[in-house]
Amino acid sequence: MAYLGESIPKLGFGLMRLPKLDDETIDIEQVKQMVDLFMEAGCTYFDTARAYTGSEAAIRKALVERYPRESFQLATKNAAWIKAKDADEAQADFYISLEETGAGYFDFYLIHNTGGPRTAVFDKFGMWDFVKQLKADGKVKHIGFSHHDNAERLDEVITAHPEMEFVQLQVNYADWDNANTQSRKCVEVAQKHGLPIVIMEPVRGGTLATPPEQVAEVLRASNPDRSFPDWAPLVPGLGAAVRHGRAEPGHRSLRDVEHPADAG
């Protein structure tokens, strides 16, 4: 399925929770095996972030140094609100990401986690213009942002920054009508603006893989052959939107669930 002009299978590899050794460092050998399985399955989209400690260096060893650069897409993110004291420090993070990953360029570069007071930090440090310039200079192919706030704030960000090409949202059945996450409303806002969606936390950080027994009973009764995580991104409406090309998750999408044979 075409995604922002690229042909990318819809299941992505998130690098936020990598396996660790006893000394709490990332288990690179296991990550290599995970990367190999993922690539063998025909998937190519990897999602890291400067803020995922050790993850950019891990993906360099497990992927970048072992596969041709054009055989995968790499996304990373800039979370200027975490500790940057000024615009120079915030923008320098991009070059640290380039060095840590050894990737040469990024296919997708995200402003990491808009919402609350964090959006104001991105504004203050000129990060929107900065990422636009990175794209113009060919250092990144596509620019977008991830959002952790309500739909009204999402609407404000998209309206203020029409140059953003995609948004990364939490989408799963538990967050769909959650008053804080507002997945459904956020998806509707993105669709209203025609903005492609990349899904994050499809299994709600793993919690939907082991639902409470009352929920488990309902799911088993509906379809005993379907695993609990398989239900997780199943939310009403999104599948149709995906089919009509208005939302094209780079990560696992509802389309995979509704049309398993068509899952890319």
Ligand X SMILES: NC(=O)c1ccc[n+]([C@@H]2O[C@H](COP(=O)([O-])OP(=O)(O)OC[C@H]3O[C@@H](n4cnc5c(N)ncnc54)[C@H](OP(=O)(O)O)[C@@H]3O)[C@@H](O)[C@H]2O)c1
Of positions 104, 116, 194, 205, contacts ligand X by CB under 6 A: 205
Candidate residues 204, 211, 239, 255; the one interacting with ligand X per rule CB under 6 A: 204
The type of residue at 63 is L
Q: How far is the CB of 78 from ligand X (least distance, A)?
A: 11
Total Cβ atoms within 10 A of residue 127: 24
For 233-260, b/e burial (b = at least 16 CB within 10 A) is bbbeebbebbeeebbbbbbbbbbbbeee
Sole binder of ligand X in the list 9, 144, 196, 202 (CB under 6 A): 202
Q: With contacts defined by CB under 6 A, name the span among 3-11, 32-40, 202-210, 211-219 that binds ligand X.
A: 202-210
Is 47 an interacting residue with respect to ligand X (CB under 6 A)? yes
Question: Using CB under 6 A, which of 39, 98, 121, 209 touches ligand X?
Answer: 209
CA 119 vs CA 11, 148, 154: distances in Å: 28, 10, 10
Other CB atoms within 10 A of residue 7 CB: 9
Closest alpha carbon to 199 in 234, 165, 226, 172: 172
Q: Which of 76, 97, 113, 253 binds ligand X (CB under 6 A)?
A: 113
Q: Which is nearer to ligand X, 8 or 203 (CB)?
A: 203
Q: Which stretch binds ligand X (CB under 6 A): 11-19, 176-184, 189-197, 218-226?
A: 11-19
Q: Which residue is nearest to ligand X (CB)?
A: 14
